[in-house]
Structure 1
């Protein structure tokens, strides 16, 4: 039935949804996004929360470059969902912030420092012989080809040192081991090779680390420079406090009164705050050359490209890296690292 013209009235506007109900839903969504972001951030950025000096975060952060690949995949997925559902925006924004923060910590290590290195060269090689089971012939071939001035060999006691000595002493190297006890296990010892051209050097064995001793070389053509063959205990569950203590020794060289080069297996990446703190005052040769993401350890040769970089050559300020490269040596789960440093005149 049609209403008379004089009695027509406008339809009342629709009632808006209850404001309290919308606000409550928004709060719940943002809280959920914050929790989700924290769930992503803690394993990727534990050093920002002070967690990366304890298990399991100390192990997780060593794989941060690869974890960020996973975070990127999550960002892409949320971006696709966002096209159809705007309510995932706070989730996408939070995970994107984690990705940006992580990339800001990692990517600079893939960019070489500008400017050319100048000064007298010092070639340094570091290698973990994996309980003395590495192929001594292959390692000797690397040494013969590149003629490093000093070499740090972790997990090398008298047994492996004798094998390598037979091959490199004729090339003009002296071999120094942290012990001469033939019964000692290779895994607990360190060997240093010093080229004869460095002259009459002083060699000191330090045993104030928690597990593995170190070798400090100075004098001769090195002058006041101290070269340290170093090996930290691995941060496996139960040994993380010892690992922290080992890395806490680094300031004696990186913040010491004389220039220093520290080389070896640190069982830590530059994503570990304990290593960054200990090595303050030193620069990492790989990072200086834009090679700071090249893996140096993996549990199997089949996944060699996806491991962390835990072998390093650190040098105090003023000493710069000119080159950095890695070499595979059979029989070890580590790769040998080789760098040419330039010492200030």
Structure 2
């Protein structure tokens, strides 16, 4: 029994390309599965089944290591500017769940963080309009990307404190895919920074193959857009436990590594079930992470993520 359970657990974060949604969903549940496995290990130990306990413990470690958030190494680490004289700036990302997130709480978070930009997924024109009516918002974030849908989950926006130039989408909007906004931010000092606001299709409800395609295209896009420092922020609908996400993020630094190797969950938020998976990310190239954290906003099922970054 321990051998079968251990083998299944150890292999789970390595499996990709299989049809259907079952495998991606199980991979998203990997943190919970690892916790359950540890309880079983203790159970084996109580009954002095030491070999079974050791097998399952080793399998749990093998499953957890790929799903951990690792600090940048090698070529990624070498590409990040180091030193205390770099200029710093904050970036926030939030899925506002069909434009239902509390705009007052969002505005309060923006006033606290003073971000250079905010990436917003599931945004609607009405939600952004309500946000801009909150005190200080027009002054703090006077720049934005183009018009949004009136309703639904497809809209994505970038609002910024500095001038921005919107670029072509990572892929054309339409069909079952969400908008992927891209803009080059021009700060008052330092290099321009390219920000991509990301929202992939979830792997559930028959969308697993499109989800894999979305992540593959994100990976291809980010590897071909390294002429400027890069930030990819948003709802990837994938965690470190998914091989497709790890491949898409290859060569990028995950800002969450600042908070440790155990991924802090971002979904679901405000639900009966506690948050158990990190599917909202802030990935960077040619930038150094000074701090990273999640935050909660009422009215959305995602926690937001924010980071203070440093660049040339």
TM-score in same-fold range (> 0.5)? yes
Query: Given the alignment, which residue of 98, 103, 106 partners 2:59?
Result: 98
1:271 and 2:237 correspond: no
1:190 and 2:153 correspond: no
Aligned residue number for residue 78 of structure 1: 44
Q: Which has the larger radius of gyration?
A: 1
**Structure 2 residue runs without a partner (length 5+):** none
CA-CA distance at 1:204 after TM superposition: 2.7
What whole-Å deviation, never above 9, does each CA across 1:158-196 have from its counterpart, x for those lacking one? 1212111222543331353553554xx24110111110x
CA-CA distance at 1:89 after TM superposition: 5.2
CA-CA distance at 1:321 after TM superposition: 0.9
Instruction: Label 1:291 to 1:241 Cα distance change in 2 as closer, same or farther (>3 A).
Output: same
Q: Is 1:117–1:320's contact at 8 Å kept on the other side of the alignment?
A: no
Aligned residue number for residue 128 of structure 1: 95
| Aligned counterparts of 1:257 and 1:105: Cα–Cα separation in 2 | 25
CA-CA distance at 1:250 after TM superposition: 2.1
Higher alpha-carbon deviation: 39-48 or 252-261? 39-48
Q: Secondary structure at the match of 2:142?
A: strand
| Aligned counterparts of 2:148 and 2:39: Cα–Cα separation in 1 | 53
The TM-score with structure 2 as length reference comes to 0.84
| Aligned counterparts of 1:70 and 1:51: Cα–Cα separation in 2 | 26
| Aligned counterparts of 2:272 and 2:3: Cα–Cα separation in 1 | 33
Q: Secondary structure at the match of 2:58?
A: helix
**Runs of 4+ in structure 1 displaced over 4 angstroms?**
51-54, 106-109, 111-114
Q: Is 1:230–1:265's contact at 8 Å kept on the other side of the alignment?
A: yes
Structure 2 counterparts to residues 48-197 of structure 1, below 5 A: 48-50=14-16, 54-82=20-48, 90-106=51-67, 109=70, 118=84, 119-167=86-134, 169-182=137-150, 185-195=151-161
Aligned residue number for residue 313 of structure 1: 282
Aligned residue number for residue 206 of structure 2: 238
Aligned residue number for residue 254 of structure 2: 284
What whole-Å deviation, never above 9, does each CA across 1:189-245 have from its counterpart, x for those lacking one? 0111110xx33x211351436511111111523745311111111111301111111
Query: Given the alignment, which residue of 184, 193, 197 partners 1:229?
Result: 197
**Structure 1 residue runs without a partner (length 5+):** 1-32, 83-87
> How many pairs are equivalent?
297
Aligned residue number for residue 208 of structure 1: 172
The TM-score with structure 1 as length reference comes to 0.77
Q: Is 1:158–1:186's contact at 8 Å kept on the other side of the alignment?
A: no
Q: Is 1:264–1:312's contact at 8 Å kept on the other side of the alignment?
A: yes
Q: Secondary structure at the match of 2:166?
A: strand
Q: Is 2:69–2:263's contact at 8 Å kept on the other side of the alignment?
A: no
Instruction: Label 1:79 to 1:274 Cα distance change in 2 as closer, same or farther (>3 A).
Output: same
Q: Secondary structure at the match of 1:262?
A: strand
Higher alpha-carbon deviation: 65-74 or 283-292? 283-292
Q: Is 2:291–2:307's contact at 8 Å kept on the other side of the alignment?
A: yes
Greater helix fraction, Structure 1 or Structure 2: 1
Instruction: Label 1:53 to 1:42 Cα distance change in 2 as closer, same or farther (>3 A).
Output: farther
Structure 2 counterparts to residues 312-331 of structure 1, below 5 A: 312-316=281-285, 318-331=286-299
1:261 and 2:231 correspond: yes
